[in-house]
Chain A
Amino acid sequence: MPNIPYRDILIGARQEAFKMRHFFVGVEHLFIALLEIRGSLTGKLMQEFGLAPEYVIDAIRRKTGKGSKQRLWAGIPNTPRVKVLENIAYDIAMEAGRDEVYERDLLTAMLDERDSVPLRVIQALGITDFDALRNMAQNYTLNSETQQAYVKVEFGSGFNRDEMLTKEQLFVLRRMFAEYAQIRVEYRLTGGYSQATLLVVTPIRPDQQEDATVAVKIHQVDAILDEAQRYESHVKAKLPPMTARIEDKPTAPESSDLAGIKYTLITQNNQPPRDLRAILAEWEAEKLSNWLTDTFFPTFGNKWWSQNREFRFQVWREYDWLLPPILTLELVKDKPLPPNAYVLRMPVKRAKLNRLDFGDMVAVENFVVQKVYAERHAIQLAVGQGTDSASAYKIEVRGIDFNSDTYYRGEVVENIIGTVWQTRSQQLMNAIRALMPDFDAHNEKIPVNLDGLEKVPNPILMYEGLLDSFVNGTSATIHGDLHPGNIMIGPKESAFLIDFAHTREGHTIFDWATLEISLLNDYIMPYAGETWNDARRVMGYLLKLNGGDFPNDIPEPLRSKLGVLKSLRGLVRPCLANENQWSEYFIALAFCSLRALTWETVSLAGRRLMVLVGGLAIHELRTRFRPSDDNTEDTEDTYRSF
């Protein structure tokens, strides 16, 4: 849509000003209006720089914030800066022999002026060369999308055709490789909890020459663009020299909710590298243990886990986000809050929260919007910064009409009222019921009938107390989603990682607890059977492992496979704040297992084991690995033999 006249832009800007309760038209409203017009020059240019228009809109809204409900003047006046821009744009139009100002004139004026809020925002998002942008704004021709060359997509023999890519994923993929004639999707990498699609792709040029194989991640626009930002600020400088890196800017087509990002892979003899999950079935357990200890840990350890610093934190701050939302609410509008209604604000009093029931009215105060689910008419609120991946106390609010109410990520919502649709306890109880327990899930103890251990605490009823305890741990750069699907094995069995969507400064041993839980599900449980009693048997072996006992009577192949966990714990030890205090690790294990318990992608047997692993972790924290009280000498929190 070339030549959008200024008067049309101004209409959009006024609507935006109204939605944000600003009641004046500033440059930010004009810029957002330009981005909201499908096919606008401004939107196209942002995409050229790897930014989706919606993402930029959110960022501008986050920086300006919503105004107060109080209106101090009539009408919607333009700011002095807008008046200056109007004059510059008018001059540009005049020079071109026109008496009407178009989008291109306005955008050029903004880029000449440079001091406005939206330009400061796009600068913070990585567009720093305004001269280049101005040049592009002057010369860019708007092509219609149909002119795009067709990229042929074929699938390699390793690709499972039962799980085909969707039309939208193929669209993004073709855009990402627009300069190629053809691509071959080699295989799919199994994702973590993010539900992103990870593919290994070989691009092929028109002369049939194959370029280096890359990993491609396709996911929701916000998630991909956040990952690119996070990579720039947290990851890039801390990677070992030979590893996967994010290549280019992300591709975020305007007409799609999805976006894509490429990771370079290190290949040899044109053999695409493989992920550890694919290797698990091939390697002997001993080889895997040695590889984790001698190759994997040293490759990343120096810049990541071994650079740890003392970090004392309350458990909920690092681990609450792994659990389902504390509340799911149905929005209530224009109704007064009954006097006895529950008001949820910081500090959150969870005891009261647990007494809530379906239909109860709740007010939530000063929570931050984490996610906007436009198609589901819902938002997710939480405590903590908008861009932080570890944020606590998620609340889902449904039934939002985005036509009348604007919410943007990072917004602090002063007050929102809803009725309870589901609590966290109910959601966890449903998850455990789906596993057809052979015990009463409402009981505080779960029977395990092992030698020396009759019962373990029921984790879904007993995790609460842990959230308030303090951990004397360490923090470091962590991957944040360290499962075997994200660990790659390159030439000469070198190690590298992909998928930095959750990389952050956090509790050092979280990565290892995540990996242990993944190995239990993917590597150990498939060899143990499906029933609750099979899960109990595996839990019994873990109990022994926790005590430093690794008896010979464990049948193969379980014994060798559990040996990998033993090696993994050997890697955890130097990451602990105190070599003999394992409580921080068992806290992490408890929450990682509770998370996996709610995942439908984990097998039934795996989820059953997760219930018991969570219970066992809490049992160990009450007995063998009691956290020491602050400022007192350590108790018997020791972990023998490793």
Chain B
Amino acid sequence: MKNMKLNVMIMSGSEDGTTLTYDPSQGDGQEVENAWQISIGRKEENDLCLRNDTYVSRFHAYIIWKNNRWWLEDCDSTNGTFIENAQDFFDDQPIKGTIGIEEEQLFRVGRTWLRIQVIE
């Protein structure tokens, strides 16, 4: 984990195209019980702060590295966390609790689409 960096690209909204890099060796994110997590929300305290999306909750979701894979967790947000629906592009699927997530897969918090990309 020490040699890994996480890139998150914002894929829609007013900050569309912005790439944020998180490096655990630089103290980014939080390490909790064999896991490393990046918090997402509208409040400034979050690792990934989406201050311009009013559909994002103050503490909305986590991206988590645990058991050698990536997970996405919704923190009971008001407007939900979603992944794309393979059957219907326009009917995004809300996630409940924590789900596994692949690199390059898009997901949405509030109205903002995000994509994770890992640099070894």
Contact = CB atoms under 8 A, between A and B. Distances in A.
A63 B14 contact: no
A117 B55 contact: no
Interface string A359-393: 00000000000000000000000000111000000
B78 to A, nearest CB: 12
A27 interface: yes
Interface stretch (B28-36, B57-65, B86-94): B86-94
B88 A68 contact: no
A116 interface: yes
B90 A26 contact: no
A72 B52 contact: yes
A44 to B, nearest CB: 24
Contacts of B9: 115
B54 A81 contact: no
Contacts of B54: 67-68, 70, 72
B15 interface: yes
B88 A26 contact: no
A287 B3 CA distance: 77
A117 B12 contact: yes
Given A68-B54, A72-B52, A63 B17 contact: no
Interface residues of B, number: 21
Contact of A79 (B17, B51, B90, B91): B17
A82 B17 contact: yes
Interface residues of A, number: 34
A249 to B, nearest CB: 18
A64 B12 contact: yes
Contacts of B51: 72
B14 to A, nearest CB: 4
Contacts of B14: 22-24, 26, 73, 77, 79
Nearest to A125: B89
Given A72-B54, A115-B11, A387-B90, A84 B111 contact: no
Nearest to B12: A117
B111 A26 contact: no
Contact of B52 (A63, A73, A80): A73
Contact of B11 (A117, A233, A387): A117
Interface in A47-70: 59, 62-65, 67-68, 70
B110 to A, nearest CB: 10
Interface string B12-38: 111111100000000000000000000
Given A72-B51, A117-B113, A233-B87, 19 more contacts: A22-B14, A24-B13, A26-B14, A27-B16, A62-B90, A63-B89, A64-B12, A67-B111, A72-B52, A79-B14, A79-B17, A80-B15, A80-B18, A115-B11, A117-B11, A117-B12, A120-B106, A124-B89, A385-B90
Interface of B: 9, 11-18, 51-52, 54-55, 87-91, 106, 111, 113
The 3 A-B residue pairs whose C-beta atoms are closest, nearest first, are A81-B17, A124-B89, A80-B17
23 contacts: A22-B14, A24-B13, A26-B14, A26-B16, A63-B89, A64-B111, A68-B55, A72-B51, A72-B52, A73-B14, A73-B52, A79-B13, A79-B17, A80-B17, A80-B18, A115-B9, A116-B16, A117-B12, A117-B16, A121-B89, A124-B89, A124-B90, A387-B90
